[in-house]
Amino acid sequence: MRISAVLPIIVFSYSCVAQSPVQQSGSTFEVASVKLSSQETILTPGRRIQTSPGSLVTRGLPLRECIVLAYNSPTKIIGPDWLAEVHLDIAAKAATPAGDKDLYAMLRTLLANRLGLRAHFEKREMPVYALAVAKGGPKFTESGSDSPVSVRRDKGAVLLHNVSMSDLAVEVSRIVDRPVVDATGLKARYDLRMDVGAVAAVSQEDRMDAATSMITALQEQMGLRLEARKDSIDVLVIDHVEKIPTEN
């Protein structure tokens, strides 16, 4: 995985696709379309997800990432190996305006209805990384804002606004080879900057993999480090899911 893929939850402009009725309740979309992505869509770079009040759209988003959103970003998913190989185009709209939290709850119901997704959380002891403060302290500041969490690019850097350390731990866990738990003791929300262009250059020159590059970037740019340990964490276990969604 390229280090430029770090923190991949990004948005794209809404585009209309065919929709069909879905049973309506407090936790379901009023209308939704769920389709397998074409190879062209999968290979096209750009934004994979967009939410706005009452609507959710994905384009070429892996099923694994859909599940991450639907189940509130679990740090570890245990399920079929092909979860990252199935990509979905979803266009869904609620009956009334809804925020991201409610949209993702509706997405969970949608995945259950269209792909038969069933899953549960359980505690398991396994190797993890603990995200901790490095010697010299953190190299970022508190946000001091109540605005929503945001991730954007700026001249080769990724800028994260108003994120918690637990948010960061979840994102880092997608890059390294094991779950990451927050052990920083930092309780506020912060503005962070990672120069992914510089990290990618070093990674290519030294033939470092994405996980090693991430560990280096965390320490050098953010004043954070990853400590290997064993811990009992909540994991999401996939009991059942289909590869192909039912017809719209």
How is the chain split into domains, by residue range?
Answer: 3-122, 124-232
Given this model, what pLDDT does residue 11 score? 28
Mean pLDDT of 205-234: 83
Q: What is the pLDDT of residue 112?
A: 97
Residue 182, pLDDT > 90, answer yes
List helix spans (H) across the chain. Answer: 39-43, 63-70, 100-115, 165-173, 196-206, 210-217
Kindly report the average pLDDT of the chain as a whole number: 83
pLDDT for the residue 206: 53
Nearest to 137 by CA among 199, 193, 189, 186: 186
Helix 196-206 vs helix 210-217: crossing angle, to nearest 10? 130
**3-state secondary structure (DSSP) of residue 117:** coil
pTM for the complete prediction?
A: 0.72
- pLDDT bin (cut points 50, 70, 90) of residue 96 is very high
Give the model's confidence band at 146: pLDDT under 50 very low, under 70 low, under 90 confident, else very high: confident
